[in-house]
Amino acid sequence: MGYKTYLIKEIIIYVTVLIAAMSLLYILTYPVIQEVLKATVQTEAEGFKQAILKHASGHGNLNLTSINILVNKYKASLMAAYGLNQPLYLKYFIQMKNLLIFNFGNAYFLTAPNGSHKVYAIIAAYLPYTIILFTTGTIIVILVGTLLGLLSARYAGTVWDKLVPTIAVVHSSLPTWWLGFLLIAALAYAIKIFPPGGITSIPPPKSPLMYSINMLYHMALPLIAFFIVNVGGFAYVVRSLVISTTKEDFVMTAKARGLSDSRILYRHILRTASPSISTQVALAIAGSFAGGLTTEIVFNWHGVGWLTYEAILLNDLPVILGINFVLTVILLLALFINEMIKGYLDPRIKAGE
C-alpha cells in the first residue's frame, strides 16, 4: 500500500468518524431540544399576544381574529427561525451540511461580547481564553511531567521513583475543580493573595502590559490547581513508557556496547519511546481545548468550558453542536497529526503499516 492510498484511507476514516459522532450528538439531543424550543415559541407567542391585546384595548380597531392571525404569523416566523417546521431528515441533512462547512448558524439565545449572534463568532470569542489557560497549563504539565517521568525511570529505587506513582494517585483521585474551589477559599478569601476568579479585574487595566500582568495574576490559581492535579498523571505515563522500553532487548545490548547510561536513556530509549509519548502529548493538547469545563466554572473563567455550560443551561442547540463539532475536529486533527508525527519518528510505521 502506497503512502498516498494510506493517507486517503485515513482521511476517509477521520471524516466519517466526525460525521458519525456529530449525528450521534444530534440524534441524542434532538427530541428534548425540540420540546424546549416549542415551549419557547409558545411562551414568546403568548407574550406577543398579551402585548397586542394590551395595546389593542386602547384602540378597539383590532378584533380577536385579526390578532390571532398576527400571532400565528409571528409564531410561524419563530418556528422558521428555530427550524422547527421542516421534516426531520431535512433538518438533519441541513444541520450536518452546515456543520461540515463550519456554518453553525445563529445562536438561539447567546451572543458574542461584540453582540454577534453567529455561533462561530461566539466560539471564536471564548476559545482563546481556554487556550491561554489550559493549553499553557498542559504544556507546563507536559514539560515537567516528562522530566519527572524520566527522572523516576532513570533513578529506579530512589525517591524520584517513588514520587511519581504517588503523585499519579493524586491525579487519579483529585478533581481539579474541587482543588480550585478549595484554593479559592484558602488563597483568595481566607488569605487574600489571589483573585477569586474571572479573567481580569473589573474594570480591566487599560495598558496592554498591565492587562497582561493582571490576566496572569488571574491565571495563577487555576494553573496551580491544574498543574497539581495533572502533572502526576503525565509523569506516570512517561515513566511507564520509558520503563517498558527499558525492558526491551536492545537496552541490554546497548549497555554491552559500552554506551553510557545517560546516552542509552536520552538517545536510545527516549527516541524509541517518543512515538508513544507523542501520542500522549497530542491527546493532552487536544484535550486542553475542551478546557476544564468545571474548572472554568469554578474560576468564572469565560472560556469554552464555561460557554458550553451556559449553552446547555439555555438549551442553545446551535452553540452546543458548534462547540462539540469544533472540539471533535480538534481532537481528530490532533490524532491525525499524531499519526503523521509517529510515522516520522518511528521507521516501523513509515513503511505504511
Footprint on residues 188-207 left by other proteins (CB under 8 A): 188-190, 196
Q: Which of 254, 265, 281, 282 binds other proteins (CB under 8 A)?
A: 254
Cis status of the peptide bond prior to 203, with omega within 30 of 0: yes
Q: Which of 62, 144, 259, 341 binds other proteins (CB under 8 A)?
A: 259
**Between residues 62 and 243, which has the closer beta carbon with respect to other proteins?**
243
Q: Considering only residues 289 through 348, tell me which ones interact with other proteins, judged by CB under 8 A.
A: 290, 293-294, 297-298, 305, 308-309, 312-313, 320, 323-324, 327-328, 331-332, 335, 345-348
**Between residues 45 and 329, which has the closer beta carbon with respect to other proteins?**
329
Q: Considering only residues 47 through 106, tell me which ones interact with other proteins, judged by CB under 8 A.
A: none
Computed on alpha carbons and rounded to an integer, the radius of gyration of the chain in Å comes to 27
For the beta carbon of residue 113, count every other beta carbon within 10 angstroms.
10
Q: Does 248 bind other proteins (CB under 8 A)?
A: yes
Q: Tell me how far, at minimum, the Cβ of 167 lies from other proteins, in Å.
A: 11
- CA–CA gap between residue 138 and residue 226 (Å, rounded): 8
**Between residues 3 and 77, which has the closer beta carbon with respect to other proteins?**
3
**Between residues 219 and 329, which has the closer beta carbon with respect to other proteins?**
329
**Pair 84, 37: CB distance under 8 Å:** yes
Question: Considering only CA atoms, which of 11, 14, 118 is closest in space to residue 328?
Answer: 14
- CA–CA gap between residue 253 and residue 258 (Å, rounded): 9
**Pair 295, 301: CB distance under 8 Å:** yes
Residue whose C-alpha cell is 493573595: 193
**Between residues 150 and 334, which has the closer beta carbon with respect to other proteins?**
334
- CA–CA gap between residue 303 and residue 69 (Å, rounded): 43
Q: Does 8 bind other proteins (CB under 8 A)?
A: no
The C-alpha cell at 125 is: 470569542
Q: Which of 124, 182, 213, 216 binds other proteins (CB under 8 A)?
A: 182
Which contiguous run of DSSP H or E holds residue 124? helix 119-130
Q: Which of 59, 87, 256, 262 binds other proteins (CB under 8 A)?
A: 256
